[in-house]
Amino acid sequence: MSSMPVPVLEPRVSLAIMGEEERFPVRRGFCIGRNYAAHAREMGFDPDREPPFFFLKMAEAIFPVEGGMETPLPYPPGTSDYHHEVELVVALGKGGRNISEDKAMDHVFGYAVGLDMTRRDLQAEAKKLGRPWEIGKSADASGPVGPITRAGATGFSLKGRITLSTDGVTKQDATLAAMIWSIPEQIAILSQFFELKAGDLIFTGTPEGVSAVTRGQVMLGAVEGLEPIRLKVV
């Protein structure tokens, strides 16, 4: 009989909440693909013909980023083409099944700036072979997320600007209003296939301008009205 002890799991990942001591516990991350038309086109797809699709980012891939400081972001193994994708992240405060669009926003706890970091070379190979995307999308620390601003806070608008710069050079610059599928639509559609829960995060898609980063570069991700995140690739 094995003498190996029963594992003790690490505590659940949690995110800071602006102006509060309590933290937001993360359950899992959902990501919508190609939710900005220009980004879909830069990836070689026609956004007018494609229904929404989602993939998962493991909770362990969520990387909490505290506000007001530069955070080291590890470059993952197995890739030489690691891409940034800045996104608005929606944090759910309650869940449910078959949530209607008109009730969907009642489930939103708040919003944060996040990145869907992607091992693009491994994702491209998986696409070509018809394989799952996890190896490209769910690397350790591939989901940096900043502090959550509660829904209803002043200064934040779902039509605001979303940007990412690398070493001070703007790479991504769009508005949240350019999303193809709105946040209520995303919540409603996801709840048809999963029972959503409090603590779930939804990465709502990235605008055009995704590109590779290398060790030593500094990324600044921002959404108008939210706490920005600053990461140095190491």
pLDDT in tens, the chain (234 residues): 778 999 999 899 999 999 999 999 999 999 998 898 766 676 666 666 577 889 999 999 999 999 999 999 999 999 999 999 999 999 999 999 999 999 999 999 999 999 999 999 999 999 899 998 999 999 999 999 999 999 998 899 999 999 999 999 999 999 999 998 999 999 999 999 999 999 999 999 999 999 999 999 999 999 999 999 999 999
Counting runs of H as helices and runs of E as strands, what totals does the chain give? Answer: 5, 18
Count of CA atoms in the C-beta half-sphere (13 A) of 188: 11
- Amino acid 22: pLDDT: 97
Q: Residue 165 to residues 80, 99, 122, 185, 210: CA-CA distances in angstroms? A: 20, 36, 24, 29, 10
Residue 51: per-residue pLDDT: 77
Residue 26 token pair = 């993360």
Q: What Rg do the C-alpha atoms of the chain give, in angstroms?
A: 17
Order of strands, sheet of 211-213, starting from the edge strand that comes earlier in the sequence: 118-119, 82-84, 211-213
Number of neighbouring beta carbons within 10 Å of residue 156: 18
Three-class SS state of 84: strand
**Could you write out the DSSP letters of every residue in the chain?**
---PPPP-PPPPPEEEBTT-SSEEEP-EEEEESS-BHHHHHHTT--TTS----EEEE-GGGEEE--TTSEEEEPPPTT-S-EEE-EEEEEEESS-BSS--HHHHGGGEEEEEEEE--EEHHHHHHHHHHT--SHHHH--TT-EEE-PBEETT-TT--TT-EEEEEETTEEEEEEEGGGBSS-HHHHHHHHHHHS-B-TTEEEE----S--EEE-TT-EEEEEETTS--EEEEE-
Local structure of residue 96 (DSSP, 8 states): B
Q: Is residue 111 classed as helix, strand or coil in its secondary structure? A: strand
Give the pTM. 0.94
pLDDT score at 201 = 98
